[in-house]
Amino acid sequence: MSVASQTESRNVDRILAFTRDAIEKKVKDSHFNHSPLLAALAGELLGEFGRGSMAGRAKRVQSGGESIVVRVNLGANTGAKRKSGPWDTNNTAPSDTVRYARANWRFIACPVTLSDHDLRVNTGPEAISSLMEHEVTQGYRSTGEIVASDAYENNGSAAAITDLESIVNTNDTVQGLSGATYADWNSRGVTARGTAAASVTFASGSFAAQGLDDMRIAFNNASEGSMVPQAIYTGWLPYGYYEGSLQPQERFTNTAIADAGFMQLAFKSAPVFPDSYIPDGATTGLMYFINFDCLEFVVLSGADFAMGEFVRVENQSARVAQVEVTSQLCVKARKFLNKLTTISA
């Protein structure tokens, strides 16, 4: 009995291809969780806190598009009116309060390389699988580290995703929209609501003297009705200041998140996460109040931490595949995001 021929497009032997395919999902799931923010943007295992899962909460996959367009509503519908009675006329002109923000894709790639010698000395399916898992883990971990680091502070790199330092701000331009032009396109900091954008400040100071008060103001300034911060991210030093300010009976730890390996406390309704990727110093402490209904980590379909096929390296006895991430961090409403800066002991 004849067997139909097969066209195999992968440029590696079957064992190598199989081990890569078999471990890829496991590696992706478990190696976005070294950063609480990265877990919320792209991870799988953050567990549940309060109203729902934070895992991948901000992630959105976009199919195609040369850039990312965000519809931003900067005011109430101008057609709304009080009517004198049931026969009074209705306004029919469309509202002109929506503006379009645009963000460009940013690209990250990490090679997963195996030499022919690596394969020769790691003989047998188990040995090849172990070697492959190590290399693929490094690829996903390394791309994830770039995303996590850049999400907080990209140091002005034009090749990096937009950082929270820029997104959670005031009186400046993000995604092509200016806070100086649109008053609703600003975070509110720790100043009174209605303060002119040019006068808004995010500066805190000694946590012992004013930290809890500033956290309360920053949280409340990012809240309207049921729209409240869903998570708070900070460095290890401010996290320690906050933990030290609480009485034992005031501390709250969620078991689902603890089971996922994250240490955290709570402030009001939001978990407080320490993240090693936040720039942390004795007088430069940062704390971000995030509402994931207003922050999106947009990834391009087909480049969502995707690992390509192994191909032979020209003039070398090696094969390489690329882990690729095409993404951007986008904001829909800055007023529901907030931060504290310059937190000290």
**What's the pLDDT tens digit per position in 318-330?**
889 898 999 999 9
Q: Which two tokens stand for residue 165?
A: 């330092």
Provide the pLDDT for residue 49.
Answer: 37
Name the percent of the chain lying above pLDDT 90: 49
Nearest by Cα to 278 from 188, 139, 164, 186? 164
Nearest by Cα to 327 from 12, 103, 76? 103
H/E/C letters for each residue in 34-67? CCHHHHHHHCCCCCEECCEECCCCCEEEECCCCC
Q: Is residue 202 part of a domain?
A: yes
Range of the domain at 19: 14-64+98-343
Given the DSSP bridges, would you call strands 270-274 and 231-234 parallel, antiparallel or unpaired?
A: parallel
Q: Is residue 155 part of a domain?
A: yes
Q: What pTM was computed for the model?
A: 0.82
Over residues 40-57, the mean pLDDT reads: 54
Number of folded domains in the chain? 1
> What DSSP string describes 243-292?
HHHS-GGG----HHHHHTT---EEETTEEEEE-TTS---SS-EEEEEE-T
The confidence band for 260, taking pLDDT boundaries of 50, 70 and 90, is very low
Distance CA 345, CA 268 (A): 22
Cβ atoms 212, 243 nearer than 8 A: no
Q: Is the pLDDT of residue 76 over 70?
A: yes
Cβ atoms 64, 58 nearer than 8 A: no
Q: Is residue 313 part of a domain?
A: yes
Q: Is residue 77 part of a domain?
A: no
Per residue in 155-210, pLDDT tens? Answer: 999 999 999 999 999 999 999 999 999 999 999 999 999 999 999 999 999 999 99
Q: Is residue 228 part of a domain?
A: yes
Over residues 268-283, the mean pLDDT reads: 86
Distance CA 122, CA 117 (A): 8
Q: Is residue 311 part of a domain?
A: yes
Over residues 246-254, the mean pLDDT reads: 58
Rounded mean pLDDT of the chain? 83
Residue in the block written with tokens 């999106």:
296
Q: Is residue 85 part of a domain?
A: no
Cβ atoms 163, 154 nearer than 8 A: yes
Q: Is residue 234 part of a domain?
A: yes
Q: Which helix (H) or strand (E) holds 6?
A: none
> What DSSP string describes 119-143?
HHHS-SHHHHHHHHHHHHHHHHHHH
Nearest by Cα to 34 from 276, 328, 300? 276
C-alpha dihedral sign at 179, 193, 234, 337:
negative
